[in-house]
Amino acid sequence: MENQIFDAQMERLKLVICKHTATDLADFFGVPESAVSAAVRRGKMPSSWLVILMRVKNVHPEWILTGKGPCLMTLRPEPSRYETDVKVTTRKADEEALRRLPSHMLAEELVRRIAVSQGHAFCSECLGNQP
């Protein structure tokens, strides 16, 4: 079953980047072809690939992993013309902090949040099925 899940993830990945061979994937992600082969052999998509897809193609990582939700991430709304100076300063500081975080930390947090949300959905489904 895990193989089917990974295969579906890879199909969604190939769909959004229009790359189908291991060589194409390696070029897109900037990794050796052996890294693509290793990911396929393990049946696990590297979290760094999800970060690259999110940053380069605006693809929602949860959609790649689960096939649920929107494919593309929604853009943040324009800041209000009426933002206070404090809100502008806080927002800019938050954005700068995110820019400075290493990709692997963002990827780990992203995967953690997806796992938590899937766990909540799973628990909700189980509770809904109880008599």
Q: Convert the pLDDT of each residue in 30-78 to its tens digit.
A: 999 999 999 999 999 999 999 999 888 889 999 999 999 888 887 665 6
Domain of residue 115, residue span: 2-128
d(CA 128, CA 108): 30
How many C-beta atoms lie closer than 10 Å to residue 51's C-beta? 20
Joined together, the tokens standing for residue 34 give 């052996």
Answer for the pair 57, 16: CB distance below 8 angstroms, yes or no. Answer: yes
Joined together, the tokens standing for residue 80 give 């209000």
Beta pairing partners, 59: 72
Mean pLDDT of the chain: 83
Please tell me the pTM assigned to this model.
0.57
Which of these, 57, 58, 51, 53, lies nearest to 76 by C-alpha position? Answer: 58
Question: How many folded domains does the chain comprise?
Answer: 1
